[in-house]
Structure 1
Amino acid sequence: MADRAAPPTIDPGNAPMQEFWAGSRGQSWVRRSVAYDGQLRGYSEALVAELAPVAGESALDVGCGTGFTTRALAAAVGAAGAAVGVDLSAAMIAGARAAADASGLGRDHRPTFQVADAQVADLTALNGGRPYDVITSRFGVMFFSNPDAAFANLAAAAAPGARLAFICWAAPDLNPWFTQPRAAAQPFLESVTGPQKPEPTDAPGPFSMADPDQPVAILERSGWADASARTLTDGIYLGGPGPIGSAVEFLTSGSAMAPVIEANPTLLQPVREALTEALSPHHDGTGVRYGAAAHLVTATRP
């Protein structure tokens, strides 16, 4: 199926997030997509294993980024099925299309990608009017401005009996991969920014669904059934497997601290040194491995 233009509608509440991911952060993710996918690969594999898509099914990947999970779904559903990836970021979608072109998947097996707001878009229109048998997201649903509306819209695009599974981060204090490197760099970053606020948990952002009861409750009131959550506690390799220097470069050039460093180049060397010291004890011979916790949330469409 050829990529087609998605409806241009964006919920006003999601416009700031679209602007954020369409800019330098989205472009940075695209440039470092191999590192991000190396870090998050296990979660994509967990989602595909949970959903168990079969040949001929239609699959939707929400907040698909550069399409790693979407490509796995496309391989599973085969030429008789369809895999569609949607994201707010035009930069991400361009990266996803380029990655699909380079993936080696046959043309009949390749997914399609569209810039679309899953909270309001006519999602079945992106799949030739066909509802989805499988809907998933790897760390994309935490950014909805109105999660109830978003999951109701996803339910409207789901076939009867469709399976939903997504991954969202648990609390920051259960994710030292996030907190410990940030703490090491924080004194240097705050020397130019002033005190940095903790990540909010009551607004769209990576930890907005840290309480697993929250997404379950949202699903139950938005048209889904049998909602449940379990917490995955396997560790992750920061920036994917590789030497310490690669993980340090990943953080200083691709993480949330990168814009501050780019605007203040004199910070780069001291931050590198601080991160190298902090990360070194966590290198296990394969990569810099930290503890991580994320919720695998599942439901079905009645």
Structure 2
Amino acid sequence: MFEKFCRFRHIMSLGLAGHSDELFRRKSFPAGARVLDIGFGFGDTTRLIAAQVAPNGEAVGVDGAQNFTDLATREAAEAGLNNASFFSADAQGDDLRGPYDYAFSRFGTMFFYLPGVALRNIRRALAPGGELTMIVWRKREDNPWVHEAERRVKQIVPVVPLEETDQVHCGPGPFSMSGPDMVSDMLRSAGYEHIAFARYDTDICIGRNLDEAVEFALALGPAGEVIRLAGEAGERLRGQVIAALRETLSPYQRADGIWAGSSTWFVTARNPAR
């Protein structure tokens, strides 16, 4: 998926930044703090955190993909950031090189196969009293930027249940942490306290034009996964799907691109002070 993410990097960075920028406006990390950025992707949030905690703080990014680690390391060096570093590991069970004062994740925790195990491992990497902040998507119906395309494709392409395929897929999916009651229970079971949720809604860019928005939906969104998992049947219907997606996404067209509504939870939880 690395090549696809790079192809749509401008959309990923511009679109997802709307939520993390708002979070940082509400509460930035203090100077001198050591912060873990979980699932850093291109490293843009890690670099922002490094600037917030400078000059004596440190931002450390962890991601499961070595390609992202290499890219983010190179770009941080080119930017002259000596307090940002990156490493590859599985946040579900590997050593996360703590302790950290804070842990942060923008859309990185929803894809854990074992979220309870991962959240406990992250808590172990936090110092006593340390805080975890996650940005996660709220329910599908409040995220038309991705749900409208998925819904339309499912009307055309036969849906293959994940348990019936051996193809690579996105696991639990982007909405696995949309329910605050479930996530609260999960965090409490992992040993966190002082759990809080704050909702944030904003339009995000999903393409500079209609063609790109359709390409993005088919390359990286749940709509594209429906086609991939359907195999030959999905490919035979691709032309029909493209036409349907153009019709579905065209109402979101503005002069500066395709913008659709999105909704997230800003989740905070604290590691108990010993």
Query: TM-score, normalized by length of structure 2?
Result: 0.83
Partner residue, 2:95: 122
Q: How does 1:26-65 map to 2 (within 5 A)?
A: 26-65=2-41
Select between 258-267 and 243-252 the one with higher mean Cα deviation.
258-267
Residue 95 of structure 2 aligns to a residue whose secondary structure is coil
Measured after TM superposition, the shift of residue 169 of structure 1 is 1.4
Contact residue 137 and residue 174 of structure 2 kept, 8 A? yes
CA distance in 2 between counterparts of 1:95 and 1:106 reads 14
Measured after TM superposition, the shift of residue 186 of structure 1 is 4.0
Describe the superposition over 1:96-127 as per-residue Cα deviations: whole angstroms up to 9, x where unpaired.
Answer: 3344345xx32424x21111111212212xxx
**Equivalent AA in structure 1 for residue 49 of structure 2:** L
Q: How does 1:212-231 map to 2 (within 5 A)?
A: 212-231=180-199
Which residue, 89, 105, 108 being the options, matches 2:65? 89
Q: How does 1:47-196 map to 2 (within 5 A)?
A: 47-102=23-78, 105-109=79-83, 111-124=84-97, 131-187=99-155, 190=157, 194-196=158-160
CA distance in 2 between counterparts of 1:108 and 1:141 reads 26
Partner residue, 2:264: 294
- Structure 1: unaligned runs, 5 residues or longer: 1-24, 125-129
Which residue, 192, 213, 216 being the options, matches 1:247? 213
**Equivalent AA in structure 2 for residue 87 of structure 1:** D
Contact residue 34 and residue 59 of structure 2 kept, 8 A? yes
CA distance in 1 between counterparts of 2:237 and 2:245 reads 12
Is 1:282 paired with 2:255?
no
Contact residue 136 and residue 265 of structure 2 kept, 8 A? yes
Measured after TM superposition, the shift of residue 165 of structure 1 is 0.8
- Structure 2: unaligned runs, 5 residues or longer: 163-170
CA distance in 2 between counterparts of 1:115 and 1:170 reads 28
Q: What is the root-mean-square deviation in Å for CA atoms of aligned residues?
A: 2.6
CA distance in 1 between counterparts of 2:94 and 2:28 reads 26
CA distance in 2 between counterparts of 1:100 and 1:122 reads 23
Contact residue 30 and residue 92 of structure 1 kept, 8 A? no
CA distance in 2 between counterparts of 1:269 and 1:204 reads 28
**Paired-residue identity, %:** 33
**Equivalent AA in structure 1 for residue 88 of structure 2:** V
Richer in strand (by share): 2
- Count of residues in Structure 1 that have an aligned counterpart in Structure 2: 260
Partner residue, 1:16: none
CA distance in 2 between counterparts of 1:98 and 1:33 reads 16
Query: TM-score, normalized by length of structure 1?
Result: 0.76
Measured after TM superposition, the shift of residue 255 of structure 1 is 3.3
- Summarize the Cα distance change of 1:51–1:148 in structure 2 as closer, same or farther, 3 Å threshold: farther
